[in-house]
Structure 1
Amino acid sequence: MLTANLMAEKLPLIKVVGVSASGKSTLVEALRAAGWNARPVSQEHSDVPDLWKQFGFPRILIYLDNDLEGQRRRRPDVSWSAENLAREKQRLQHAYEHADLRINTAHFTAAQVRDLVIAFLEANHVRRSSTPLPPLPRTGGSGKA
């Protein structure tokens, strides 16, 4: 019997990048619960343009976007600014250009984003486990998306 970690290694890798408060951790959690080998990449905090490619090249790269209002709605505990958002988008430009799927999550619920991504993965025949994969430590905020 394969352990969950070995099982995940044999599944196609899905990486999720995006601006702060776009729902990366929430989406990864939902995809792993559905059996997909998804991992977040905290590229928005890095000046390494191709960080998303390191530690395993993804079969699918998903880019989540958000606007300033959406960030403030999801994380009212943080002082967001247009300058910080622009800086994050600049850091994410390489990932944005290479993304297989881009979603602006500003006006979607977490469930709607999950459903859009699952439909995309299924349409592209991305294999998944028949059982949930273990959750990963959360990288972001409150878990509200």
Structure 2
Amino acid sequence: MNLDLVKIVGVSAAGKSTLVAGLRRMGFNARPVAQEHSQVPDMWQRIRPPNWLIFLDADLAAQGERRPDVSWDEPWRRTELERLAHARTHADLVIDTSLLSPESVLDRAVGFLRVRRVEAAPEPLVELPRTGSVWHQE
């Protein structure tokens, strides 16, 4: 089965790894892209361009809550958003995760993919290593 590639890109602490894990459990060929750390604007489409690109955003307050070990500030956020501008412009779906649970983010992404008839494997796909810290909703 040749599955569409779904790449997940977005700001730090937006829930990229969590969404990728959820999509892969459901059989979607999802992979994270650490575009927020790259000086290459179109890194998300290099090597293997995705069939679908999902962009996750989160406001500064949500980033701080999810990653209290990191000192987030507005200048840092602006730099990150500049690095992500190309990906956001080309995204098929943008989700602001600031006020959403991980389950709600997954539901929105799956709904989007199903409406577009993106096929999933009948079994979960192998889990990928996480790229950031674990995001737990208490």
TM-score scaled by length of structure 1 = 0.92
Tell me how many residue pairs correspond in the alignment: 137
CA distance in 2, matches of 1:132, 1:55: 24
**Pick aligned residue for 1:133 from 122, 125, 129:** 125
Q: Share of identical aligned residues, percent?
A: 50
User: What is aligned with 1:115?
Assistant: 107
Residue 107 of structure 1: SS of its match in structure 2? Answer: coil
AA partner of residue 87 (structure 1) = T
RMSD over equivalenced CA pairs, Å: 1.0
Does the 8 Å CA contact 1:31/1:38 hold for their aligned counterparts? yes
For structure 1, the residue ranges without an aligned partner over 5 or more in a row are: 1-6
| Native 8 Å contact 1:36 1:127 kept in 2 | yes
Unaligned runs of 5+ in 2: none
TM-score by length of structure 2 reads 0.96
1:17–1:40 CA contact under 8 A, matched in 2:
yes
- Distance in 1 separating the partners of 2:46 and 2:130: 19
Work out whether 1:104 is the aligned partner of 2:58: no
> Does structure 1 retain, via aligned residues, the 8 Å contact 2:18–2:134?
no
Distance 1:81 1:21 in 2: 13
Counting only pairs closer than 5 Å after superposition, residues 29-48 of structure 1 correspond to structure 2 as 29-48=21-40
